[in-house]
Structure 1
Amino acid sequence: MKRRDFLTTTAGVAAGASLLSSPVGAAVAGQKKKRLAMVGTGVRGIGFWGKRVVDNYSDIVEFVALCDINPGRLELAKSYMDVKCPVYTDFDKMMDEAKPDMVIVTTVDATHHEYIIRAMELGADVLTEKPMTTDEVKCQAILDAEKRTGKKCTVGFNYRYATLPTAIKEQLVKKPFGEITSVDFHWYLNVYHGASYFRRWHGERDKGGTLWVHKATHHFDLLNWLIDSDPVEVVAYGALEHYGKNNKFRGANCRNCAYTDKCDYFWDITKDKHSMDLYVKNEKYDGYIRDNCLWREEVDIYDKMSAQIRYANNVIVNYSLTTYSPYEGWRIAFNGKEGRIESWEDIPWRRQEKINQAQLHAAEMNQSGGDATRYDEIFMMKNFDRDYDILKVEAARGGHGGGDSRLQDKIFRDPNMADPYKHSAGTRDGAMSCLIGIAARKSIEEKRPVKIEELTDIVPHPTRGV
């Protein structure tokens, strides 16, 4: 076999150029700034949707209110984001007094629907963190509210905007190997990032809906977008075999534990000033423990997950999520009738440089960039051909492969910018992604295949359209 290398950057492709290069320009003189309010002031809210928006878009948007059940976190959020807006613990009062144009929802997943629906009822558009919600009843209620109120709900899916997924999308649209028949998609969370879900509220299904919904909704949205079809049926397996009650010892939390010398997962929150200020100092208000024991009995989500997903265009997906891998990354492959497209990210033996696994997720969430000369790769090989192609895609700086910046540019800087591959995600996208996870959870609990049309009134379409 011979390898043929081709250098490509998605920003250089005409169809995607306007999307993947940041739009320029500021507010038109005299133009009124969009009024933003945020409900939920955890680390994701005040960092990604808070400070980052203030730093990059203050010429066109302004925060007019912050809301949370925790008054201590509210004051910290106000200082951290460097805003002077009023803060509220009463959502309806905030809406009545602040009158925002858009409400950003970054609360605990299980409560997203409450604020999405109420915000639309009170006249505001909504931007919600993924997942849109955690069960089919709440999902249908959101869809109904959007139709009833005429307001718009956008779901913050950033992976779509990353350079590598966009480059894969560009290849799939060309159909170099005919129709895609099946997909293999495997996501690996390392022992640092994976474990963090089990010490947080995400480890309890009544709050996060399990990682089938909270985490995998990212992946399912990518699949729906790349395959360009709707899911119709899910068969899944899963178990809790590592975290939670499976360990022989457990403590109150990492700060108050007699087993720190023998627990490989010990996390010293006292060395993280931001977490201490945001969470530990404010535990007294709502009782939320950020460094909870991941071996606690209350953990009731799955830590190993596998599913088969059948799509309306007859594509079959084999998906898995691992929560205690020695490394973090993912692999995806698209099998066509005439060949195969395959790609990967952060797989150690595919990277020349060594990756600090303990700091990998933190660096991404902090928006720090990597080596600007690093390239991701897309493998392409035609059946019966002894040669294969490797397309090199320049790895973008910043969080989620540069997707974070492009997502926010599209939402705040230029909502009408060209979007040839339909990166923007609305309620239907949010629903179809979380419904796969909801169906997977139901499949495990009821030991049967679950059809997507059982869950809401959405009718799956064979083709979503580019």
Structure 2
Amino acid sequence: MSYSNISRKDFLQKTSGAMAGTMLANPVGALGKKAFGTAKKRIALVGTGIRGITFWGKTVRERYGDITEFVGLCDINPGRLEYGKNYIGADCPTFTDFDEMMDQTNPDMLIVTTVDATHHQFIINGLERGVDVLTEKPMTTDEVKCQAILDAEEKSEADLIVGFNYRYSPHHTKLKEMLVNQRVGKITSVDFHWYLNTYHGASYFRRWHGIEASGGTLLVHKATHHFDLLNWWLDSDPVEVYAEGALEHYGSNNDFRGNKCRTCPHQNDCDFYWDITDNDTYMDLYVANEEHDGYIRDNCLWRHEINIYDKMSVQIKYANDVQVTYSLTTYSPYEGMEIAFNGFDGRIDAWHGIPWRETEKVNQAELHAQEMSQQEREEAANYEEIMVMDNFAGEYDHIKVQQESGGHGGGDVRLQNQIFRDPDMADPLEHSAGIRDGAMSILIGIAARKSIKSGQPVRIEDLTSFKPHPTRDA
């Protein structure tokens, strides 16, 4: 690459010496586009659904109100918009026209929490205006939109941040640390299984996520979290994906259905009946505002229009020769995950949410309670587990990873602290995620979706201009 053609971002990465590693690992801290000084960072948010008004709305205002301020909120539904403003506690104007909001508020950062299939519109608009963008996962839903985002970010002086909070969980962080230190030698294969229970899993099929055109299927909307973890843990890019999937439980796979749970005549017969009237926030945010856009939050999960998969299995080949077997189940009796890393020198097993494992933890905590106080007993039970067994050893190491209060064992607040409070914090394990991370995670899901439809493996390099590398820093 000649210096006459080098971009500002490439120049910074190539000429900053030791600083470059920090910038690549921490795109949030590397933004450097605006000298905020002592002024509060001006934030605009588009999409006032539950994720927008809670995690990226009220939580941000309460935790970081001393250094940030909401200058504009936007949504196509004026009722949700006004409720969202009051819920967040923001003192700012509201807009149903996105361009009008951006023109009038001149934000430093745009947060995107709209329907997945529309993310690209707002991301690209923000980048073209030179505004740094923080987007909820997934970055987008297909390879065409993904490429458009890549092109816009390359031309822009602004940057894109993807909010991957799963990386920041202490449990997931400990696994990353062990893999970086090659605790069981070179990793050769991974078995990864994620289970959504009959409440959480079913909720996706009630909402807009049940329509492929809106959410890209759960291989993109949900599994982007899991694929990002794999990319991060393995420190490599995916090369080829083969997948199988089917819709065999929800959607048309039932002999009765209604228009929504509230008025359904089959409430007594449906195991999945959900009473939204028990949730005041959902009633005020969604039900009270159905008249504006017709969105039904407690829609029937047996409706015929559902066209996403409810069981999925994926084979992934990585550029560093690791092979991954992944599955996602959407109607499990419990919510959790199991993962195993197979290495030349041993195996790492980890899990969370598995009922009999949780019972073991509680039993151990009860034993501990015979000698300790109640508070210490609760702390003793608040951990996740990892098992490590070396080849030929005959014994295993049992590692307890202490969890903290808050979402994902305290991982959620760590993510937001790095974005808003301390963007230049040290990031030796590369928790922060930029545009390449966002792209590679969704490209696995997009490739899997394409593979299911074609019956053939799909190569990642055929989807966008991003080419896989054996290591993420390459």
Q: TM-score, normalised by structure 2?
A: 0.88
Q: Does 1:222 align with 2:229?
A: yes
CA deviations on 1:108-156 (whole Å, 9 max, x unpaired) are: 0000000000011122110000000000000000010001112100000
CA deviations on 1:44-92 (whole Å, 9 max, x unpaired) are: 0000000000000000000000000000011001100111100001111
Q: Is the 8 A contact 1:372 1:396 kept in 2?
A: no
Alignment-derived partner of residue 425 in structure 1: 433
| Unaligned segments of structure 2, at least 5 residues | 1-25, 27-35, 363-376
Q: Does 1:259 align with 2:260?
A: no
Alignment-derived partner of residue 51 in structure 2: 44
Alignment-derived partner of residue 251 in structure 2: 244
Alignment-derived partner of residue 275 in structure 2: 268
Alignment-derived partner of residue 408 in structure 1: 416
Task: Report the Cα distance in structure 1 between the residues aligned to 2:306 and 2:411, rounded to whole angstroms.
Answer: 31
Give the CA deviation at 1:30: 7.3
Q: Is the 8 A contact 1:162 1:402 kept in 2?
A: yes
Residue 255 of structure 1: SS of its match in structure 2? helix
Q: Work out which of the residue numbers 312, 323, 343 in structure 1 matches 2:330.
A: 323
Letter in 1 for 2:193: H
Superposition pairs of residues 200-215 of structure 1, within 5 angstroms: 200-215=207-222
Task: Report the Cα distance in structure 1 between the residues aligned to 2:327 and 2:121, rounded to whole angstroms.
Answer: 31
Alignment-derived partner of residue 303 in structure 2: 296
Q: Work out which of the residue numbers 103, 116, 129 in structure 2 matches 1:122.
A: 129
Task: Report the Cα distance in structure 1 between the residues aligned to 2:405 and 2:109, rounded to whole angstroms.
Answer: 28
Alignment-derived partner of residue 96 in structure 1: 103
Alignment-derived partner of residue 193 in structure 2: 186
| Range moving further from structure 2, 158-167 or 388-397 | 388-397
Alignment-derived partner of residue 83 in structure 2: 76
Q: Is the 8 A contact 1:255 1:268 kept in 2?
A: yes
Alignment-derived partner of residue 383 in structure 1: 391
Alignment-derived partner of residue 397 in structure 1: 405
Give the CA deviation at 1:310: 0.2
Give the CA deviation at 1:354: 9.6
Task: Report the Cα distance in structure 1 between the residues aligned to 2:260 and 2:127, rounded to whole angstroms.
Answer: 39
Q: Is the 8 A contact 1:339 1:381 kept in 2?
A: yes
Task: Report the Cα distance in structure 2 between the residues aligned to 1:422 and 1:92, rounded to whole angstroms.
Answer: 34
Q: Work out which of the residue numbers 332, 342, 347 in structure 1 matches 2:339.
A: 332
Task: Report the Cα distance in structure 2 between the residues aligned to 1:400 and 1:138, rounded to whole angstroms.
Answer: 30
Task: Report the Cα distance in structure 2 between the residues aligned to 1:69 and 1:125, rounded to whole angstroms.
Answer: 22
Q: TM-score, normalised by structure 1?
A: 0.90
The size of the alignment, in residue pairs, is 426
Alignment-derived partner of residue 443 in structure 1: 451
Q: Work out which of the residue numbers 300, 303, 316 in structure 2 matches 1:309.
A: 316
Task: Report the Cα distance in structure 2 between the residues aligned to 1:197 and 1:463, rounded to whole angstroms.
Answer: 34
| Range moving further from structure 2, 229-238 or 384-393 | 384-393
Alignment-derived partner of residue 146 in structure 1: 153
Task: Report the Cα distance in structure 1 between the residues aligned to 2:116 and 2:325, rounded to whole angstroms.
Answer: 26
Give the CA deviation at 1:465: 4.1
CA deviations on 1:244-290 (whole Å, 9 max, x unpaired) are: 00011000100111000010000011111100000000001111000
Give the CA deviation at 1:177: 1.9
Letter in 2 for 1:231: P
Q: Percent identity?
A: 67
Task: Report the Cα distance in structure 1 between the residues aligned to 2:292 and 2:225, rounded to whole angstroms.
Answer: 31
